[in-house]
A and B are shown apart, each in its own frame.
Chain A
Amino acid sequence: MISAHGLSVRLGERDVLDGVSFEVRQGEWVGVIGPNGAGKSTLLKALMGLVAHRGEILLGSRPSRELKPRQRARLLAYAPQTPALPPDMTVFDYALLGRTPYIPYLGRESRHDREVTGSVLERLDLTALAGRRVGELSGGERQRVVLARALAQEAPALLLDEPTTALDLGHQQQVLELVDRLRRTDGLTVVTTLHDLTVAGLYADSLLLLTGGRAAAAGEPARVLTEELVGRHFDAHVKIEPGPDGRPVVHLVRGGP
């Protein structure tokens, strides 16, 4: 569904991404992990065509650079790490923005666009909030509203940048379970950056470990989340054990480096 070869991004004087290659299959969930400043957010932006980049990105079988932004927006839906939420906009109107790639430039949304938006809100349990102003929502509700906008886009792939930051444990689980459910029912392809390694290992089918703009490791969670790799690239002292379902669980060890 998504593949990148030799993806490089230069911002200012720095190579923020340097020759990253990876592959995301249809229906797969790929977690991008790495220390702060590794280039995780930049990777998602490059996929979305929001920063200038070198290297090739294929969406399906088509080179991304041949697509118009509108066409790309029908294939990829993107939710940034810190979305700008216009405080006076209603939840419904905000989610409706997801329909933008289907509405003519100076036209107005169709009945179908409203119906899609309405049913997405219903799926995310947001119908009761439809008339509320976005600025009046709690952190968990906001995250769901942003997700609703991305889903209203009806793109086959979702790029979510840290979808669970600022959420408590229960809301983290709620959002991730939701994404997982959508992936199973709709066959969505998902790429998320996640800073919590255990959570990343728990939900993703495969992980991509970035450090300093390069891909340091990629593959199944158990192969990427090893004490050796995590210790080296995060500069942390950790103990990693298989959890109840065999997925790796990362513990911090006191008295680390």
Chain B
Amino acid sequence: MVTQAGPSRARPLWVVCALVVLAVSMIAALLGGAADISPWQVVLQVVDWLPLVHVDSGLAPVEQGLLYELRLPRVLVAAVVGGLLAMAGAGYQGVFRNPLADPYLLGAAAGAGLAATAAIVLLPSVAGSIPVAAFLGAVGGVFLAYTLGNTAGRAGGTATLVLAGVAVTSFLTAIQTFVQQFKVEELQRIYSWILGDVGGGWDQFWLVLPYAAVSAVLLLLHGRMLDVLSVGDEEATSLGVPAARVRLMVLLAASLATAAAVAVSGLIGFVGIVVPHVVRRIAGGSYRIVLPLSLIGGAAFLVLADLVARTVIAPAELPIGVVTMFVGAPFFVAVLRMTRRAST
């Protein structure tokens, strides 16, 4: 009797490790520069926030209020947005079988950028118009690229889809640049939106959460299907898998995740590429592990990036998108070097 457990049995261990890293990052981010609070007090306070649990953290009400009203939503938004972007990146990479695919590949960023710019320029006084516009813009950009790609090439093919994404991105970016010239005095607001911000508080968190939940569940469910797609469309079909349908489902879920992330936080770059790659280097190439680990790893990465963004030049803040790129690029190179393999 063969009891071949298979190497994939090591998976739960990875997830546990990643969750520990995420928890430590979140505690560190909650501490975030306040010198007179100890990590232990923060842990106690987090436990106290849990429903039905009461412990005394020894923090003054003011400190508690600061943590709860400012730090906590910020850490949570960073975690959700980072997780969504990294997982969407992994999803796109699986669909396009291209390690350089990122969540913005199909025009989501350009669509959101154009719509957010339009909202800032045309509806400056309508509160809350930017996230809605950005969400619709991201979805619209992807839809445009997808429709264009499918009418220009073989239905369900990937090459024309990528080209369509490039075309849509440059077209929408051109319009966006044109629109922003109408209100030069709003340039600062436009750019600060583009470079990303996770400091919008609890509203921002509740706004993104439902989309995050739906897209995360959909993507995580498709891990095995993405593994099958990785042998190519023909072989996947020969295994009885409807390749075009799987691709469409994953694209929908990843685009929803991207649109939700972009809507609340702007265009935060690099997370969607760096995190899945680091995960792949460490834990192997199966999407059944890459997707959940990207979700957790992306969350930890953006929580830490936000911590850096608000501490290095405190009391001023760096845009978080700048940090992800500034820290992300060398970090990426370091991981690539450390895990260098003979065959790659």
Contacts and interface: CB of A to CB of B under 8 A. Distances in A.
Contacts of A72: 240
A68 B231 CA distance: 20
A45 B234 contact: yes
A92 B235 contact: no
Contact of B6 (A69, A92, A103): A92
B285 A80 contact: no
Nearest to A102: B240
Interface of B is mostly: loop
B286 A89 contact: yes
B33 interface: no
A115 B2 CA distance: 6
Contacts of B284: 88-90, 133
A232 B234 CA distance: 33
A73 B234 contact: no
Contacts of A69: 237, 240-242
B343 interface: yes
Nearest to A105: B225
Contacts of B242: 69
Interface stretch (A116-124, A210-218, A248-256): A116-124
B6 A93 contact: yes
A100 B343 contact: no
B170 interface: no
A92 B4 contact: yes
Contacts of A97: 227-228, 231, 239
B230 A86 contact: yes
Nearest to B5: A114
Contacts of A45: 234
Interface in B321-344: 342-344
B7 interface: yes
B286 A117 contact: no
Contacts of A83: 231, 235
A174 interface: no
B285 A127 contact: no
A69 B227 CA distance: 18
Interface string B11-26: 0000000000000000
Contacts, number: 114
B239 A73 contact: yes
Nearest to B281: A88
B247 interface: no
B234 A106 contact: no
B231 A153 contact: no
Nearest to B280: A88
B8 interface: yes
A86 B228 CA distance: 10
B125 interface: no
B343 A136 contact: yes
A247 to B, nearest CB: 31
A87 interface: yes
Contacts of B344: 87, 135
Given A69-B240, A122-B2, A135-B344, A78 B7 contact: no
Contact of A49 (B5, B6, B237, B286): B237
Interface string A77-99: 11010011111111011001110
B189 interface: no
A43 to B, nearest CB: 14
B128 interface: no
Contacts of A49: 237
Contacts of A90: 6-8, 284, 286
B224 interface: yes
B222 interface: yes
Contacts of B228: 97, 100
A89 B231 CA distance: 10
A109 B9 CA distance: 13
Interface string A104-144: 01101100001101110110000100110101100000000
Interface of A: 45, 48-50, 68-74, 76-78, 80, 83-90, 92-93, 96-98, 100-101, 103, 105-106, 108-109, 114-115, 117-119, 121-122, 127, 130-131, 133, 135-136, 153
28 contacts: A50-B234, A68-B240, A69-B241, A69-B242, A72-B240, A78-B235, A78-B238, A80-B234, A84-B232, A88-B286, A89-B230, A89-B286, A90-B6, A90-B8, A97-B239, A100-B240, A106-B221, A106-B224, A114-B6, A115-B1, A115-B4, A118-B4, A119-B4, A127-B4, A130-B7, A133-B343, A135-B344, A136-B343
Interface of B: 1-8, 221-222, 224-225, 227-228, 230-232, 234-235, 237-242, 280, 284-286, 342-344
Given A77-B238, A88-B280, A90-B7, 14 more contacts: A45-B234, A71-B240, A72-B240, A83-B231, A89-B285, A92-B7, A97-B227, A103-B224, A106-B225, A109-B224, A114-B6, A122-B4, A127-B4, A130-B4
